[in-house]
Amino acid sequence: MTLLITIVSFVVSLGILIFVHELGHFLLAKRAGVRVEKFSLGFGPKIFGFRPEGSDTEYVISALPLGGFVKMTGENPEDDGEEETSDPRAFCNKSVKDRALIAAAGPVMNLLLPFLLMPVVYLMGIERPAYQDTKPVVGWVDPEGAAAAAGVEAGDLITELNGHSMERWKRVEAYIGINPGTPVDVTVLRADGHHRFTITPTPTGSSGMGYIGIYPPMAPVVAGVSEGFPAAEAGLQEGDQIVAIEGKPVDHWMQISSASHANAGTPLRFTIERAGKRFDATITPQENAEAGGGLIGVLMPSDTRLKKLGLIDAVREGWGDVVYFVQLTLQVIVKLFSLELPLKTLGGPVMIAKVTGQAAQVGIPQLLFLMGLLSVNLGILNLLPLPVLDGGHLFFLAIEALRRGKPVSLRIRAMANNVGIVLLVGFMVVVTFYDVAKIFGG
């Protein structure tokens, strides 16, 4: 059932985003008087189609619902015959301005769609980790992390990263994540004033995302106990609070995780508080190859909050998220092209399908939220001046405008498109490889 949900949600979500993209091209083509031969929802063999009386356009539903396409007369002059290219309604015979508007309309529609989706997310209400919308107060600092080495302390309030104001934990996490290996100027507020540090996030795990070793506050309360693990054998129960390990006070969940991880096979004395009473329990963390250290088998608390807003606040919050999505996507693109961010940090089709399935299982708001983010990504990526993409068409049209209406030769455009296809296929192969590696722990 999980696999079915993943496949269906991925196909439907991606199909909607690509359909909206193609709808933009279609509407602007019609407005410019271009003859649109076919508007298809999906690819492959035709399942159903009709042509309204007196219309040049055939509307089609095709077998593979992965988006759609618009076929315009004169869109590919090198492939069309003389009759098509001489038609005044042919795409190639329209002004540079009209062709540019048609090319840009797809990405623009993808950028506009989230302004509708995101307010709906908050009107419906979305479950999110409670800490994400809280002020970025440091609850615990990993002693082995870059933040500890720089001097960051528990209780610090992060106010700025590289001069950018940080008001919520989710912004801090995202900014650190996209800056592996790049020094970040961190400003924190303490009782004695502001302190500034330069910290370089280290790439972590199979994703390669940046990590400096800071965590939001998280109470050391047991949310669940896994059967067959040392904690269960020692009698720990859901709701127990771990107040000390080997006599050292514990006030954050990560202290439990850190102590267990570093002491596989070594008995540890845990002080537990239950129903107002304290007692000690000796627990020996069990070696776990997948975790790379010891585990005792307790589950961390998952403190989530339903964020449901009225219309005005939903629009304000939703549109703010869209602006942030745009900023984040642009930052990632710049860092990718400057080689500051490895390709393995990206999610390809496999990871997108996996995350889409997970979002769909949680609820419609989570799926709409993800679609909003993906739509922004799709819109911006399609505006990049690379052959095959809409941005590549806009680039050639800009050259044509600068040359006072003299287009780039068909031969050069064909060569550029071939190079673009090779690069795009190569890119997809690489990110898909990393997707599979992440899923299988590589």
Of 196, 215, 234, the residue at which a domain comes to its end is 215
Same domain, 180 and 205: yes
Same domain, 246 and 321: no
Assess whether 160 carries a catalytic annotation.
no
Residue 101 burial (CB < 10 Å; 0-12/13-18/19+)? buried
* Residue ranges in the chain modelled with pLDDT below 50: 442
Q: What are the tokens at 122?
A: 């908050």
| Start-to-end Cα distance in the chain | 26
**Which residue segment(s) compose the domain that 428 sits in?**
100-125+308-442
**pLDDT for 216:** 94
Give the count of alpha carbons within 13 A of 72, CB side only.
27
> Active-site residue among 22, 75, 84, 173?
22
Same domain, 264 and 383: no
Same domain, 361 and 424: yes
**pLDDT for 416:** 78
**pLDDT for 244:** 94
Same domain, 238 and 163: no
Same domain, 105 and 142: no
Assigned domain for 314 exists = yes
Question: Cα separation of 223 and 298, whole Å?
Answer: 7
Of 171, 191, 215, the residue at which a domain comes to its end is 215
Same domain, 313 and 291: no
Of 189, 215, 241, the residue at which a domain comes to its end is 215
**pLDDT for 11:** 80
pTM reported for the whole predicted model: 0.82
The dihedral sign for the CA sequence 322, 324, 326, 332 = negative
Asked if 345 and 178 count as a contact pair (C-beta separation under 8 A), the reply is yes
Assigned domain for 372 exists = yes
Assigned domain for 44 exists = no
Assigned domain for 109 exists = yes
Same domain, 171 and 239: no
**pLDDT for 23:** 92
Question: Cα separation of 243 and 233, whole Å?
Answer: 19
The letter for the amino acid at 311 is L
The letter for the amino acid at 83 is E
Assigned domain for 409 exists = yes
Burial 342-362 (b: 16+ CB within 10 A, else e): bebbbbbebbbbbbbbbbbee
**pLDDT for 29:** 92
Assigned domain for 107 exists = yes
SS3 381: helix
Same domain, 158 and 282: no
**pLDDT for 10:** 82
CATH number for the domain harbouring residue 295? 2.30.42.10
**pLDDT for 128:** 86
Q: Provide the domain count of the chain.
A: 3
Same domain, 332 and 422: yes
Assigned domain for 34 exists = no
In the block, tokens 């400096």 appear at 212
Same domain, 315 and 442: yes
Assigned domain for 59 exists = no
Q: What are the tokens at 49?
A: 């189609």
Same domain, 404 and 431: yes
